[in-house]
Amino acid sequence: MSQPKIVAFAGSLRAGSYNKKLAALAAEAARAEGAEVVVVDLRDLALPLFDEDLEAATGLPEGAAKLKALMRDSDGLIIASPEYNSSVTAALKNALDWASRAEAKDEPPLAAFRGKVAALCSASPGALGGLRGLVTLRSILGNVGVLSLPDQVCIPAAHEAFTDDGRLKDERKTRQVSALVNHLVGTLRKLNP
Ligand SMILES: Cc1cc2nc3c(=O)[nH]c(=O)nc-3n(C[C@H](O)[C@H](O)[C@H](O)COP(=O)(O)O)c2cc1C
């Protein structure tokens, strides 16, 4: 059986991010299914705001090149993101924009995205659990060549949803995360037997 490679990250930078907890849980579930998972903290990448002049002058910043290389080398993505004002966060869009850029003339376009499969989830203190942001995220990912699985997991009332050690209190939600991730790993195995 093949071992799919997955990159997991959250669309939030803050240390106590509920979505970082969710990404970590999803990564753990994917590892339990036999996938190789790298969890990336976007804060560690210290990505500057995308600026074509900066790119022209110095190329991809180190953090952007690292994220892009990890994504290129992966089969799948796990993205857990809050919604900001009903859409994707600036940090997430910025990371996706940097990763979309070519570093060499002969590089295939959107090499970090095309042919990848993504599992999407979200967490928010609000009642919708960040659901609306995932609609926009799906649209962005579809336009850069990523197939997003139709199922997703949203965690409402996220400020009350996690235990102190980062697990979900609601067993049903834990099962949903596992099911989503199992679907991702299973799909990747079908695509890359
Ligand atoms: C600029 C901004 C806009 C936000 N807009 C929304 C929103 O539209 N819907 C929502 O459910 N929560 C919204 N929130 C609250 C976030 O969901 C909350 O801060 C959440 O904890 C962020 O995710 P994190 O815990 O992973 O950092 C917003 C927060 C910020 C800072």
Tens-digit pLDDT profile for residues 22-31: 999 999 999 9
Mutate to test the pocket of ligand 1, among 83, 89, 135 (most ligand atoms within 8 A of CB): 83
In sequence order, the β-bridge partners of residue 123 are 155
For residue 162, which phi and psi values (nearest 5 degrees)? -110, 145
Do 34 and 3 form a contact (C-beta atoms < 8 A)? yes
- Check whether 2 has a pLDDT greater than 90: no
* Angle (nearest 5°) at CA 138 between 91 and 192: 105
Q: What is the DSSP string of 49-93?
A: PP-HHHHHHH-S-HHHHHHHHHHHT-SEEEEE---BTTB--HHHH
Identify the residue whose C-alpha is closest to ligand 1 atom 6: 84
| Atom of ligand 1 minimally distant from the CA of 129 | 11
Provide the mean pLDDT of the chain.
Answer: 97
Which tokens go with 101?
């850029």
- Tell me, yes or no, if the pTM score tops 0.95: yes
